[in-house]
Amino acid sequence: MTAAAPPLRRLRRPSAIPGFGIAFGYTLAYLGLIVLLPLAALVLKASSIGLSGLWAAAMEPRVLAALRTSFGLSLAAGIVDAVFGLIVAWVLVRYRFPGRKLIDAAVDLPFALPTAVAGIALAALYAPNGWIGRLVEPLGLRIAFTPLGIFIALVFVGLPFAVRTVEPLIAEIDRELEEASATLGATRGQTLRRVLLPPLLPAVLTGFALAFARAVGEYGSVIFVAGNMPYVSEIAPLLIVIKLEEFNYAGATAIATIMLGMSFAALLAINLIQAWSRRRFGHV
Amino acid sequence: MDIRVAGIVKDYDGTAALRGVSLDIRTGELVALLGPSGSGKTTLLRVIAGLEIPSEGHVLFGGEDATGLSVQQRRVGFVFQHYALFRHMSVFDNVAYGLNVRRRAERPARDAIRRRVLDLLDLVQLSGLENRYPAQLSGGQRQRVALARALAVEPRVLLLDEPFGALDAKVRRELRRWLRDIHDRTGHTTVFVTHDQDEALELADRVAILNDGRLEQIGTADEVYDHPASPFVMSFVGDTARLPVEVREGRVLLGGTALDIEVAAADAGGGALYLRPTDVVLTNGDCSGLAGRVTSLRRTANGRRAEVRLDAGGNVLEVEVPTQRPLQVGDRIGLHILKARLFPA
């Protein structure tokens, strides 16, 4: 190697673990072909109607309502999944009880189940004549075919993300930390709040981000249980399909582009919060 | 505060970790619990702390039964081998933790806490590092933070579980001296666990030697070194050679040859002679008594160690040899035993 290395060489430092070049090249090619290319095509297609056209499509009341439904309920579902997922993961890691392996396997079912099946099952359960729907009907509560039904479906599909991201961290918690906290006089609650939970926060946020992202894009399970009433229980992905069926490709790509932008902004924000919380709590 | 441990038995699902240990620790004393791994020394420390509940027996602090008290109520300072610092808290917050979690009525004011934490960091020689995080400290520094954290709550007794086990030899020696110093200044009753006999003998006022869940002996370094209560203690606190011997008419016989030593209260019959490499010296060429052939030579810090295969019985004995004395592998040498302990077989 000559002393006056060309600028590109600076990326290549001698290393005990070689393979940076090929790994980085593969990463870029993969990301470009599989992720960025289709998204670029989407943005390109949407740009055919121009910025003003995009704005007009977004400001359509029905689109606004659908976006609000999608992002609002996804946010709520993500939060519930983060909290519930933490508890489920805690129980699975910390306690030994009969049937633990079964519950452990059941957590992943939303991953594997075709989402349409999940939607139909949920609709059957929560419909006014379903097992659960029949119980809450006298209370004046309707779940299926309302936004509440969508919310439940979104919680269902997002849960495994929240559980699986925090599980390894809970498993790594050193027992001695709890003992140290106890010898210093802390109650169980204080130990949980001050010692155990803060280091878990970055992982909880990751789980939340994944569950939220999954919920925003969810289609199959929602449409069966949502009732799909425009302005009330219609999600943005469904509206895209509707536009497509009307051969309104520009309209469909417009909504898709807006969703893409909002999702990207939301995930970026969560990533920044995570980076901050890692700095704050993650001194490993 | 004095500690009394009375008849502690601890079973883990049928396997006994402690089989009836009783122990008195005086106020202000520094006691080491010494033993090989699996001897129950850490379990005993954890029982004193309240981190393990004994199957039987009592723990008393200052004459008061503490067996039923929870960890929180016992007010002990506990230092863990791997520090167990809270990684997401700064050094300051780690040390202040025990004070911050107190009930409002018992919690000192903010600046009182601040003063106390800074004083403690001064005591453990970490002034100026209060804003660092544990990950930014060396192992020795982390252990000192852990000690400051334990001292912050004004514990009645200080318990340390292999406090220097994870540190390298040089830092260990420094921290040892420093811990002794802190103990002398603060006057806490202190119990620490170690498997390193040098550490125990050098640091502690008294050493409690445990083996297989039982207390073998408790005493000062002199007592356990010069008057070991059992063959186990003898061989655990230093290098020891064991020679199977026979005792007849007050004389000790090794492979039929009488040894030139006096043994107090020797019972007739079989026994084993325990001696240290420094208890044997080379004669000036006289091989008429105990003699053997040098099979290997090793340099040590203070001299040389010779392994000698004895003519009588064929046992191998380690002998400390001064460096001035010319000696080679294969030489025949005579030995003289200065001191030995006889235990019945």
pLDDT, one tens digit per residue, over B255-277 is: 777 777 766 655 666 788 888 88
Can you give the pLDDT at residue A281? 64
Tell me, yes or no, whether B170 and B275 share the same domain: no
Q: Is the ipTM of this complex over 0.85?
A: no
Residues in B touching A187 (Cβ below 8 Å): 72, 101
Domain with B294 in it: what CATH number? Answer: 2.40.50.140
Q: Is residue A42 part of a domain?
A: no
* pLDDT averaged over every residue in chain B: 88
Can you give the pLDDT at residue B213? 92
Whether B97 sits inside 8 A of A283 (CB atoms) is: no
pLDDT tens, residue by residue, A224-282: 888 888 888 889 999 999 989 998 888 888 888 889 888 898 889 888 888 887 777 65
Of all helices (H) and strands (E), which one includes residue B303? none
Tell me, yes or no, whether B21 and B122 share the same domain: yes
Residues in A touching B149 (Cβ below 8 Å): 180, 184
CA B261 to chain A, closest CA, distance in angstroms equals: 52
**How many C-beta atoms lie closer than 10 Å to residue A139's C-beta?**
7
Tell me, yes or no, whether B276 and B199 share the same domain: no
CA-based nearest residue in chain B for residue A193: B101
CA distance B158 to B14: 30
Q: Helices B91-100 & B110-123, crossing angle to 10 degrees?
A: 130
CA distance B57 to A46: 79
* Chain A residues 252-281 within an 8 A CB cutoff of chain B: 280-281
Tell me, yes or no, whether B171 and B244 share the same domain: no
Tell me, yes or no, whether B220 and B326 share the same domain: no
pLDDT tens, residue by residue, A136-159: 888 888 888 888 999 999 999 999
Q: Is residue A136 part of a domain?
A: yes
Whether A176 sits inside 8 A of B80 (CB atoms) is: yes
CA-based nearest residue in chain A for residue B89: A281
Task: List Cβ neighbours of B263 (8 Å cut-off, separation of 6 or more).
Answer: B247, B250, B252, B340, B342
- Classified as helix, coil or strand, A265 is helix
pLDDT tens, residue by residue, B2-56: 999 999 999 988 888 999 999 999 999 999 999 998 899 999 999 999 999 999 9
Whether A280 sits inside 8 A of B88 (CB atoms) is: yes
Over 70: is that where the pLDDT of A11 sits? no
Residues in B touching A195 (Cβ below 8 Å): 86
Rg (CA), chain B: 25
Query: Closest to A199 (Cβ–Cβ): which among B88, B98, B150?
Result: B88
**Domain stop point among B207, B235, B263:** B235
Query: Closest to A284 (Cβ–Cβ): which among B51, B80, B135?
Result: B135
Can you give the pLDDT at residue B225? 87
Residues in B touching A179 (Cβ below 8 Å): 51, 71, 78, 80, 84
Give chain A's domain count: 1
Domain that holds residue B297: 239-344
Rounded to 5 degrees, φ, ψ at B72 are -60, -40
Domain with B215 in it: what CATH number? Answer: 3.40.50.300
Q: How far is CA B36 from CA B39, B90, B209, B214, in A?
A: 6, 35, 9, 12
Strand partners, B254: B257
**Domain stop point among B235, B256, B273:** B235
CA distance A3 to B137: 38
| Residue B303 or A161, more confident | A161
Whether A179 sits inside 8 A of B87 (CB atoms) is: no
Q: Helices B139-152 & B91-100, crossing angle to 10 degrees?
A: 20
A70 and A237 Cβ atoms separated by less than 8 Å: yes
Residues in B touching A180 (Cβ below 8 Å): 78, 80, 84-86, 146, 149
Domain with A247 in it: what CATH number? Answer: 1.10.3720.10
Over 50: is that where the pLDDT of B167 sits? yes
Over 50: is that where the pLDDT of B248 sits? yes
* Chain A residues 169-188 within an 8 A CB cutoff of chain B: 174, 176-177, 179-187
- Percent of chain B at pLDDT above 70? 97
CA B18 to chain A, closest CA, distance in angstroms equals: 21
CA A198 to chain B, closest CA, distance in angstroms equals: 7
Whether B135 sits inside 8 A of A180 (CB atoms) is: no
Over 50: is that where the pLDDT of B134 sits? yes
CA A275 to chain B, closest CA, distance in angstroms equals: 14
CA A163 to chain B, closest CA, distance in angstroms equals: 22
* pLDDT averaged over every residue in chain A: 87
Query: Which token pair is B324?
Result: 């001035």
User: pTM for the full model?
Assistant: 0.80
CB of A195 within 8 Å of any CB in chain B? Answer: yes
Can you give the pLDDT at residue A136? 85
Whether A183 sits inside 8 A of B97 (CB atoms) is: no
Over 90: is that where the pLDDT of B291 sits? no
Strands B304-310 and B269-275: unpaired
CA-based nearest residue in chain A for residue B150: A184
Q: Is residue A19 part of a domain?
A: no
Q: Is residue A15 part of a domain?
A: no
Tell me, yes or no, whether B292 and B326 share the same domain: yes
Q: Is residue A35 part of a domain?
A: no
Can you give the pLDDT at residue B115? 95
What residue type is B146 in one-letter code? A
Q: Is residue A62 part of a domain?
A: yes
Residue of A96, A177, A183 to mutate when probing chain B, most B C-beta within 10 A: A183
Q: Is residue A38 part of a domain?
A: no
Residues in A touching B87 (Cβ below 8 Å): 199, 283-284
Whether B72 sits inside 8 A of A186 (CB atoms) is: yes
CA distance B344 to B334: 26
Residues in A touching B98 (Cβ below 8 Å): 184-186
Q: Is residue A44 part of a domain?
A: no
| DSSP-assigned letters across all residues of B316-341 | EEEEEE-TTS---TT-EEEEEE---E
Tell me, yes or no, whether B27 and B71 share the same domain: yes
Rounded-to-10 torsion of CA B184, B186, B191, B194: -60
Query: Which token pair is A171?
Result: 């498993």
Tell me, yes or no, whether B195 and B249 share the same domain: no
Query: Closest to B49 (Cβ–Cβ): which among A183, A190, A281?
Result: A183
Strand partners, B159: B78, B191
CB of A245 within 8 Å of any CB in chain B? Answer: no
Can you give the pLDDT at residue A6? 54
Whether A283 sits inside 8 A of B87 (CB atoms) is: yes
Whether B78 sits inside 8 A of A198 (CB atoms) is: no
Tell me, yes or no, whether B186 and B301 share the same domain: no
Residues in B touching A281 (Cβ below 8 Å): 88
Tell me, yes or no, whether B56 and B81 share the same domain: yes
| DSSP-assigned letters across all residues of B147-162 | HHHHHHT--SEEEEES
**Domain stop point among B208, B235, B262:** B235
Tell me, yes or no, whether B230 and B293 share the same domain: no
Whether B97 sits inside 8 A of A177 (CB atoms) is: no
CA distance A58 to A66: 10
Tell me, yes or no, whether B245 and B223 share the same domain: no
Over 60: is that where the pLDDT of A9 sits? no
CB of A192 within 8 Å of any CB in chain B? Answer: no
Domain that holds residue A239: 50-281
Query: Closest to A283 (Cβ–Cβ): which among B75, B80, B135?
Result: B135
Can you give the pLDDT at residue A2? 47
